[in-house]
Chain A
Amino acid sequence: MADGSASADRVMTAGLSRRAMLAASAAALPLFVTGCKGIQALGTPPPPPADVRTLQTAISAEEAMVARYAAALKLLAPASVQYRDLAGETAAYASARAVHAEHVAHLAQLRSRLVEPPGAKPAAHPPPLSPSSGPSPAAGASGRDAVLGELAVAEQAASDRLIGGLDGLPPALAQLFASIAASEATHVEYLQAARRGR
């Protein structure tokens, strides 16, 4: 009884092995052909969904904003020889530093929502701008005003862009975008107040 059963098992195993071998051969054939043609024969991967692209764009914009503030902080630093109005310098620098910290927080939250498949190119979205792409240096209180003014304009544009990109986003991501857009709008008035020396 035991011998007969073992024999039947061997037959079944042999049968399965043959089928498995055939299936594996059939499956391997296209791969073999593909291998001859190179990796391009697999075709280009599908583009990421629209909401992922929107998120990637938002991340790039936030990276650019962080870089812009990093450049501005160098120009607004109280130790900078470019400015002589110490009280104004300190207020402007403190304001820009506070806003910079909020942009860093925005960027962290946006990045935390991006789930890229393993092996995806990390440079799917543009690299952050270098600090040199930020505001241009200018001496004195007028230079400080110009730097803060440029930042305020960039903040307003960023806020509008985020609100314009809400369609089609998952609810939680749309809420994050709206909240960040609101935060960036508050920066406009905050920077303008800093320009006025409040």
Chain B
Amino acid sequence: MTSASGQAGQATGSQQTIAALQNALAAEQAASYGYGVVGARLPQGSAAQGTAGADWVTHMRARDELTAMISARGGQPAPAAVAYQLPGPVKTAAEAAALAALLEDRVAQAYLDIVALPESGLRSFGARQVRAAAVRAAAWRGSTQAFPGLPASSLRS
């Protein structure tokens, strides 16, 4: 037996969960698109291009996993956009690496929304994805960040 208010609470929680998963899915879809651009701008056959290819596959797998997670919760996974607006011109290998780092930053930020959910398994999943994205971002950037994915506004001075 579940009370009406309990059911309403569960529905709200479920909506929050699906919204957070959709947000992460959107970030993964954007990353999947963006890595296509990154790979095309890196020297053919270079180690960096190999890394970009591996990262691209990682994001497509994550996209598929999130799609399945949303469906399993009764949600309708949002489709990817046909094309995405790049933050700036990507003509050189350095600009491609900067784009890859930015994509990973956005992925990390999106997964932090999942960390904020109360469900234990999802929290852990989100945290591991934040960590993986941060490691990839640091590799592309060549430096680390103190608070990957966290907007500056959420830090206390």
Contacts and interface: CB of A to CB of B under 8 A. Distances in A.
A166 interface: yes
Q: Interface on chain B toward A: helix, strand, loop, or mixed SS? A: helix
A175 interface: yes
Contacts of B108: 182
Given A179-B149, A189-B139, A109 B123 contact: no
Interface string A185-196: 111011000000
A150 interface: no
Interface stretch (B6-14, B80-88, B112-120): B112-120
B144 A99 contact: yes
Contacts of A182: 108, 127, 130-131, 133-135, 148-149
A159 B131 contact: yes
Q: Interface on chain A toward B: helix, strand, loop, or mixed SS? A: helix
B154 interface: yes
Interface residues of B, number: 31
Contacts of A163: 124, 127-128, 131
Nearest to B150: A179
Contact of A105 (B123, B134, B139, B146): B146
B138 interface: yes
Interface of B: 108, 112, 115-118, 120, 123-124, 126-128, 130-131, 133-135, 137-139, 143-150, 154-156
